[in-house]
Structure 1
Amino acid sequence: MDFKSLPQLLDHFKEEKTCIEYYENIRWAGKPVCPHCDAEHPYVTTRGYKCSNNECYKKFTVKVGTIFENSKISLRTWFAAIWRCTNHKKGISSVQLSLDLGITQKTAWFVLHRVREMLKDKSPRMLGEYGMVEADEAYIGQREQTKHYSKRRSDENPSLRNDGSPYVEKKVIVGIIERNGKVVLKHVPNATKKNMVALIEKHVPKGAKIYTDESKVYKSLKKHYTHETVKHALSIYVAGDVHTNTIENFWSVLKRGLVGVYHQVSEKHLERYLDEFSARFNTRDITTSDRFQNFLKESESYLSHKRLIGVK
């Protein structure tokens, strides 16, 4: 099962039966459990299973309660989508995925968002317990000087564009990264002390070493952390161990993915894209085959189309 490439993966999973048996072993390890009531020892049916609990007695398959639920796409296609999404360093667009897998762009878009639902970190750990941490913020959006005049901020009314429509500020992302470790990302409304420091206090234990730039929002970190700043304003980017180059390198990958691959990401779904990029980064040290299997173990996250687009 040590797949080293997509062709090897597809060669192994030629039949749907093989995919189902593989996924049942990943999810249940040979002991099927009813996803509705957690009852064990279900009856085997021609299409899956039937709960043995008389109060439940519902039919189900291994897909129920997972990202694959209510999907007419074969597991073979799903596996290929997961492989491609999790192994492309900067992601893959729904247009490209639809061409690669022979599905519609709309379907590929939904598939990718379900995969991102699977990639959410279910149990985020504290950063900096055994090393140094860097914190920084990134701004996603077009530069003001490169915008068309009609889309620039109005001088008369800063809340509007020159064409009269509401002005949209750049999206702010806070990032915390442990050197040689994991990254935590969060989209926040604005780069204030409340938003920035709150995330750090949530994911970094008190007393840890943390490095940032000279922004005023980080000044209060000295109360609980060993906090040092790098003087970017003085063109000083490294002073011994004090630098933010690790998080800056991560920002370059994130921005190239969001701009170069996805081109435009709505604020509504930005957090899901951040989950995707952080999941790939946090599993960079394991093999592609292990990454694929580990993510499948976290696939018990159902996402309906109505919930995705915000329809009640």
Structure 2
Amino acid sequence: KMDALCFVEFNEKITKCFATCIHNKKSETILPLIEKHVLPGTKIYTDEHKSYQKLNSLGFIHGTVCHKYEFVNKETRVNTQAIESFNNYLKYYIKMKKGIEPQRREHFLIEFVLKFNSKENLVSNLFDLIRIK
């Protein structure tokens, strides 16, 4: 089984995303990706999955919400609504394409992230990608 690891930058709205295929949800898989793509000192909000337990010790400000009981932590106001919204958007996009073949999933996510992160200037950014220097 293959999953996708997604995270988003959120400032009033989702401004940037990252997504990649992962083969398991173990901390040895997830934490190196977070360290590679997220700046130290960044606030990271997650559910209470054990793979995220070491985020504070890695220099991130980690807040959690226990989805078994609530979707917004009543004490800290930590929530995962932005990433849940992004995941729903990604699933909807996949459904519109009537699924993605397993061998194309990584390429699909790369394209999806590029389009999502460039939606304001997609044509200009595409020309920048293909410009010969």
Tell me what 2:127 maps to: 296
Tell me what 2:117 maps to: 282
CA offsets per residue over residues 27-75 of structure 1, 9 Å max, x none? Answer: xxxxxxxxxxxxxxxxxxxxxxxxxxxxxxxxxxxxxxxxxxxxxxxxx
Q: What is the RMSD of the two structures over their aligned residues, measured on CA atoms? A: 1.8
Task: Report the alpha carbon displacement of residue 293 of structure 1 after superposing the two structures with TM.
Answer: 2.4
**Conserved in 1, the CA contact under 8 Å of 2:94 and 2:100?**
yes
Which residue identity lines up with residue 34 of structure 2 in the other structure? Answer: I
Listed as ranges, the matches of 1:185-200 within 5 Å are 185-200=19-34
Listed as ranges, the matches of 1:4-19 within 5 Å are none
Structure 1 runs of 4+ with >6 Å offset: none
SS of alignment partner, residue 19 of structure 2? strand
| Structure 1: distance between partners of 2:77 and 2:38 | 18
After TM superposition, the score normalised by the length of structure 2 is: 0.85
Instruction: Identify, as 1 or 2, the structure richer in strand.
Output: 2
Tell me what 2:100 maps to: 265
In the alignment of these two chains, the number of paired residues is 126
| Structure 2: distance between partners of 1:264 and 1:294 | 27
| Structure 1: distance between partners of 2:131 and 2:103 | 23
Tell me what 1:226 maps to: 61
After TM superposition, the score normalised by the length of structure 1 is: 0.38
Aligned-residue sequence identity (percent) comes to 31
Q: 1:300 to 1:190 in 2, by over 3 A?
A: farther
CA offsets per residue over residues 147-197 of structure 1, 9 Å max, x none? Answer: xxxxxxxxxxxxxxxxxxxxxx3x210011110321111101111111111
Q: 1:293 to 1:210 in 2, by over 3 A?
A: same
70, 75, 87: which one pairs with 1:251? 87
Tell me what 1:178 maps to: 9
| Structure 2: distance between partners of 1:201 and 1:219 | 14
Task: Report the alpha carbon displacement of residue 264 of structure 1 after superposing the two structures with TM.
Answer: 2.6
| Structure 1: distance between partners of 2:82 and 2:115 | 16
Larger radius of gyration: 1
Which residue identity lines up with residue 265 of structure 1 in the other structure? Answer: I
Listed as ranges, the matches of 1:84-163 within 5 Å are none
Which residue identity lines up with residue 191 of structure 1 in the other structure? Answer: K
Correspondence 1:212 to 2:43: no
Which residue identity lines up with residue 61 of structure 2 in the other structure? Answer: T
| Structure 2: distance between partners of 1:179 and 1:268 | 30
| Structure 2: distance between partners of 1:187 and 1:218 | 17
